[in-house]
C-alpha cells in the first residue's frame, strides 16, 4: 500500500501565496508521476498540476504562470507553490501519485486525504 501525507493547506487572502507538500511512502518501486488535483462541492475533481519522474510538467490553464510544481524523487515528495491566489482557487486539494510496487506490476493511482485551501477576498 501507499500512503500520502499532505500538508500546507489553509486560509490565504487573494493575491497571496501558499505552498502544499505531499510525501508518499509505502511499497513504491517506481513513480510515473505525482500531482495535485482539486475539487469543489458539486464539481468533478480536476487536475491542477502534475510532474513526471523525468520532470515533465503539466498545468491546468487556469493556474499556468501562477503555480509551480516540483518534486524530490529521493524523498518521494511533491510540492505545489501557489502564487497570486484567486478566489476561484478555493477547493480541496488532493495529492495524487501514480506508482507501482515492482517494475513487473502495473501502475496504480493513489490519493491523499485532501487539504482545504481557502482564498478570501
Question: pLDDT category, 40, cuts 50, 70, 90?
Answer: very high
Pairing of strands 91-100, 18-26: unpaired
d(CA 19, CA 115): 11
Q: Count Cβ neighbours within 10 Å for each residue of 22-50 and write b for 16 or more, e otherwise.
A: bbbeeeeeebebbbbbbeeeeeebeebbb
Report the chain's mean pLDDT, rounded to a whole number: 96
Model confidence pLDDT, tens digit, residues 48-93: 999 998 899 999 999 999 999 999 988 999 999 999 999 999 999 9
pLDDT over 70 percentage in the chain = 100
d(CA 97, CA 39): 17
Averaged over 5-21, what is the pLDDT? Answer: 97
d(CA 120, CA 52): 32
d(CA 53, CA 99): 10
Calculated CA dihedral for residues 62, 5, 79, 110, nearest 10 degrees: -60
pLDDT at 74: 86
Strand partners, 5: 23
Amino acid at each position: 500500500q501507499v500512503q500520502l501525507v499532505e500538508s500546507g493547506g489553509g486560509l490565504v487572502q487573494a493575491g497571496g501565496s501558499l505552498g502544499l507538500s505531499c510525501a508518499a511512502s509505502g511499497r513504491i518501486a517506481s513513480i510515473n508521476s505525482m500531482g495535485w488535483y482539486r475539487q469543489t462541492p458539486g464539481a468533478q475533481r480536476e487536475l491542477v498540476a502534475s510532474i513526471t519522474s523525468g520532470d515533465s510538467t503539466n498545468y491546468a490553464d487556469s493556474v499556468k504562470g501562477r503555480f509551480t510544481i516540483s518534486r524530490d524523487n529521493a524523498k518521494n515528495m511533491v510540492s505545489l507553490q501557489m502564487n497570486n491566489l484567486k478566489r476561484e482557487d478555493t477547493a480541496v486539494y488532493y495529492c495524487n501519485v501514480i506508482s507501482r510496487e515492482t517494475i513487473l506490476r502495473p501502475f496504480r493511482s493513489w490519493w491523499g486525504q485532501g487539504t482545504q485551501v481557502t482564498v478570501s477576498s
